């Protein structure tokens, strides 16, 4: 669902739309999860709330920039950890971060 929304809104080239969309989606799309995670933190349940673990200590503008990057990038390619690790046929060493964000990886020759 999010990917379909990204494909649709990434075609819009109006700067005003980008600004309004990122503001609205930051407030109503990301922050409810962050606040829910904060509420559940005393019960040690916040780690089960999407977005909380990475964003709970980030500022508003950082979250908003990530919303912009997520929805206004016309090309997105997702790969699994297994797909990254299979790069060992081309690199002598491949390592993937165990911490959030998990998409950081390093390939060495």
pLDDT digits (tens, 9 = 90+) for 76-109: 777 888 888 888 889 999 988 887 666 678 888 8
Work out the average pLDDT over 7-15.
91
pLDDT of residue 75: 76
pLDDT of residue 89: 87
Work out the average pLDDT over 3-25.
93
pLDDT of residue 22: 97
CA angle 44, 32, 69 (to 5 degrees): 110
Residue of higher predicted confidence among 11 and 103: 11
92: Cβ–Cβ under 8 A, 6 or more apart, which residues? Answer: 108, 109
């Amino acid at each position: 669902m999010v990917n379909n929304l990204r494909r649709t809104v990434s075609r819009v080239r109006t700067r005003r739309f980008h600004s309004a969309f990122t503001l609205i989606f930051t407030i109503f799309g990301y922050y409810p999860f962050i606040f829910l995670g904060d509420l559940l933190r005393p019960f040690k349940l916040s780690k089960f709330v999407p977005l909380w673990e990475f964003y709970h200590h980030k500022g508003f503008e950082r979250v908003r920039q990530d919303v912009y990057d997520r929805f206004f990038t016309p090309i997105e390619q997702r790969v699994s950890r297994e797909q990254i690790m299979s790069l060992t046929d081309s690199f002598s060493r491949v390592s993937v971060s165990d911490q959030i964000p998990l998409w950081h990886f390093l390939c060495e020759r």
